[in-house]
């Protein structure tokens, strides 16, 4: 069973970058069983409502902030 998480927010300017495909990796603020975290998934899927939910396609690390310095040891799996 694939895990789908709720998106609470995204980094500034994400929409233009996504549409123009200038930067495929976008920071999303999500809610998980552990609370709120940031994630920068590679090749996420967007089921149902557009950008309100994402489905990671592989195991991803969770972050305390939208930067590589915020990396935690916690992960989320597909």
Q: How far apart (Å, rounded) are the C-alpha atoms in residues 6 and 56?
A: 11
Give, in order, the Cα–Cα distances in Å from 44 to each of 56, 60, 74: 5, 10, 18
Burial class, 4, CB count within 10 angstroms (exposed 0-12 / middle 13-18 / buried 19+): middle
| pLDDT single digits (tens) 17-61 | 777 766 678 888 988 777 899 988 877 666 565 566 777 778 888
Q: Where are the domains of the chain?
A: 5-76
The larger pLDDT score, comparing residue 2 to residue 11, is at 11
Q: pTM for this structure?
A: 0.65
Question: Do the Cβ atoms of 29 and 5 come closer than 8 Å?
Answer: no
């Amino acid at each position: 069973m694939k895990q789908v998480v709720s998106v609470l927010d995204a980094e500034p300017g994400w929409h233009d970058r996504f549409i123009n495909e200038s930067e495929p990796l976008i920071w999303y603020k999500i809610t998980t069983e552990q609370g709120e975290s940031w994630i920068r998934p590679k090749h996420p899927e967007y089921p149902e409502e557009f950008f309100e939910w994402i489905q990671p396609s592989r195991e991803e690390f969770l972050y305390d902030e939208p930067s590589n310095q915020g990396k935690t040891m916690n992960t989320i799996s597909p």
